[in-house]
């Protein structure tokens, strides 16, 4: 049996754990989450566990990354279940702040990664990334980890966080971990729980449309605008998907190249009814190892 799980809801508790840890020369890893944990989050914890002495997970549904009318209120918050899952993954500390702890009255500083936050998710959710980078920087400043783990599923998010850490000299290494999928290819997400059974049957089409793009490139096709159009047609054929975007972009700049390069990612976002899904696939030869070494 490892040590029991510590649940801390104040910043002072985390600071005291941090002092103890540093005094004993221990390394710290963080897995930031909004809770409603699934296998995707657990895979981040499993990747993190052997890489640090103290593993901290944060459970915080961050209000500033939801726009008015999005699902902040209905976002699932199964706290006891999440804590049990953290215990099973040998997490040492769970940080569960309230919004007042993270954003006390008078809070007025936000972080924006200028260019990378504009396209794709940024264009469809204009205030989202400002909320994400602000809360992630705050969590990194509170926990002061050596290494932080994020999922590849939120590709643009992990890219922004890397950029923010570079730009603001945050001494935390960012590790991006592979997306975990259902057997039919649907990327795991807490929001999959919103899908009706009919929508769930259609949902894997997003991953297969991205894969179609990769297959075309593997077959030697080079006309990216044509490939992008085929991906969209595939996604929307015989489904109720409303596409926000589905495309192939440069994995560092997020711009759409005219012809294939060796650092591309296929990204997509589309809604089924009221549920918005996002996903991405790295285009070979790009790998997660390369991404994590940049």
Site mask for ligand PAF (CB under 6 A), range 163-202, x = bound: ----------------------------------------
Residue 56, interface with ligand PAF (CB under 6 A)?
no
Residue 28, interface with ligand PAF (CB under 6 A)?
no
**In the complex, minimum distance from the CB of residue 185 to ligand PAF, in angstroms, rounded to a whole number:** 20
Is 41 one of the catalytic residues? yes
Instruction: Check 41, 124, 128, 234 and give the catalytic one.
Output: 41
Sign (positive/negative) of CA torsion 61, 67, 71, 73?
positive
The residue from 32, 97, 213, 268 that contacts ligand PAF (CB under 6 A) is 32
Nearer to ligand PAF (CB atom), residue 161 or residue 217: 161
The residue from 82, 89, 92, 154 that contacts ligand PAF (CB under 6 A) is 154
**In the complex, minimum distance from the CB of residue 69 to ligand PAF, in angstroms, rounded to a whole number:** 18
Contact 103, 61 (CB under 8 A): no
Residue 132, interface with ligand PAF (CB under 6 A)?
yes
The residue from 43, 62, 144, 163 that contacts ligand PAF (CB under 6 A) is 62
Nearer to ligand PAF (CB atom), residue 34 or residue 207: 34
Nearer to ligand PAF (CB atom), residue 189 or residue 230: 189
Q: Give the residues lining the site for ligand PAF (CB under 6 A).
A: 32-34, 62, 65, 132, 135-136, 154, 157
Catalytic residues, by residue number, are 41
């Amino acid at each position: 049996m490892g040590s029991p799980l510590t649940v801390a809801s104040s910043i002072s508790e985390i600071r005291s754990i941090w002092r103890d840890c540093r005094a004993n020369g221990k390394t710290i890893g963080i897995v930031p989450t909004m809770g409603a944990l699934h296998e995707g989050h657990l895979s981040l914890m499993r990747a993190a566990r052997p890489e640090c002495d103290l593993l901290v997970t944060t459970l915080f549904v961050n209000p500033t990354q939801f726009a008015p009318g999005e699902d902040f209120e209905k976002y699932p918050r199964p706290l006891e279940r999440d804590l049990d899952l953290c215990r099973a993954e040998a997490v040492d500390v769970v940080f569960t702040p309230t919004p007042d702890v993270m954003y006390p009255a008078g809070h007025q500083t936000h972080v924006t990664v200028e260019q990378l936050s504009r396209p794709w998710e940024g264009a469809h959710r204009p205030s989202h990334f400002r909320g994400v980078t602000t809360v992630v920087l705050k969590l990194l400043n509170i926990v002061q980890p050596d290494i932080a783990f994020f999922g590849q599923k939120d590709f643009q998010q992990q890219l922004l966080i890397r950029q923010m850490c570079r730009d603001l000299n945050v001494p935390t290494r960012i590790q991006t971990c592979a997306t975990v999928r259902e057997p039919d290819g649907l990327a795991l997400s807490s929001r999959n729980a919103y899908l009706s059974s009919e929508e769930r049957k259609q949902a894997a089409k997003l991953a297969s449309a991205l894969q179609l793009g990769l297959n075309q490139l593997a077959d030697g096709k080079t006309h990216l605008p044509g490939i992008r159009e085929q991906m969209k047609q595939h996604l929307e054929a015989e489904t109720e998907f409303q596409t926000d975007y589905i495309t192939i972009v440069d994995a560092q700049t997020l711009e759409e190249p005219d012809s294939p390069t060796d650092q591309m990612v296929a990204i997509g976002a589309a809604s089924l009814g009221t549920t918005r899904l996002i996903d991405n696939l790295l285009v070979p030869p790009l790998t997660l190892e390369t991404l994590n070494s940049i």
